[in-house]
Amino acid sequence: MPGASIFLIVVHLHIFRGLYHASYSSPRELVWCLGVVILLLMIITAFIGYVLPWGQKNVFRIECHAANNIHFTLETYTLKHAEISNAVSESQAAGKA
């Protein structure tokens, strides 16, 4: 189990201990609220640390395949455009005849 996961488990145990002993009651409400803010920041940091490498892999894949996708899209568009142009010119030629 990675160290970050163990750290988050210990933090959650600490919070449950505070709930059990009612540490959120007067006169420590501000301390409890600051603890909850710190917990949320730690969870966000853990999430970003997990997602960041995943995002880099996807960016690399997109960079590698972007040229092929753009070429395919342009080729398809120009072929469709040529087919439509031919059909229009054929219908115009048939109308004049």
Tens-level pLDDT at each residue, the chain (97 residues) = 687 778 878 888 998 998 898 888 888 899 999 998 998 998 888 777 766 666 666 666 666 666 566 665 556 656 555 666 666 666 666 665 5
Between CA 92 and CA 58 the distance in angstroms is 49
Overall number of domains in the chain: 1
The length of the chain in residues reads 97
Q: Nearest-CA neighbor of 63 among 75, 55, 73? A: 55
Tell me the pTM. 0.48
pLDDT at 12: 84
- Domain with 52, as residue range(s), is 3-96
Question: Residue 51 corresponds to which tokens in the numbers above?
Answer: 């997602």
Q: Are 4 and 46 in contact (CB under 8 A)?
A: yes
Taking CA atoms, 5 is separated from 1, 11, 13, 46, 63, in Å, by 7, 10, 12, 9, 33
Predicted pLDDT of residue 13: 92
